[in-house]
């Protein structure tokens, strides 16, 4: 049990540092590609949360936290696509798309 906790904290710390490094190196002009990258990372989080929540020996706490994680990540993904779509529409000419 203690080894799992230490391993989980280690993975969390590594993911935090990698995420910070990725976001820090992106120019403010590249907001839309950054949103796409965030959606890709969120998709990985959804898969992980589903696997943990649906595990055979999952406790009630892990199921509740997994449900919260799935709900949050799916909301993030949908919002990211909506924002990206709105930004792309801002750059279209008025006559296009009809």
Long-range contacts: 75-80, Cβ < 8 Å, 24+?
76/38, 76/39, 76/42, 77/39, 77/42, 77/43, 77/46, 80/35, 80/36, 80/38, 80/39, 80/42
Residue 21 token pair: 């490094």
pLDDT in the model for residue 14: 92
Give the pTM. Answer: 0.56
Query: Across the chain, what does the average pLDDT equal?
Result: 80
Q: Does 26 score more than 80 pLDDT?
A: no
pLDDT in the model for residue 25: 73
């Amino acid at each position: 049990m203690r080894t799992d906790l230490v391993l989980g904290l280690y993975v969390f710390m590594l993911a935090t540092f990698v995420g910070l490094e990725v976001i820090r190196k992106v120019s403010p002009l590249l907001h839309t590609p950054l949103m796409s990258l965030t959606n890709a990372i969120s998709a990985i989080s959804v898969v992980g949360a589903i696997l943990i929540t649906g595990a055979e020996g999952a406790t009630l706490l892990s199921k509740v936290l997994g449900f919260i994680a799935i709900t949050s990540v799916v909301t993030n993904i949908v919002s990211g696509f909506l924002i990206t779509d709105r930004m792309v529409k801002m750059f279209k000419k008025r006559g296009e798309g009809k």
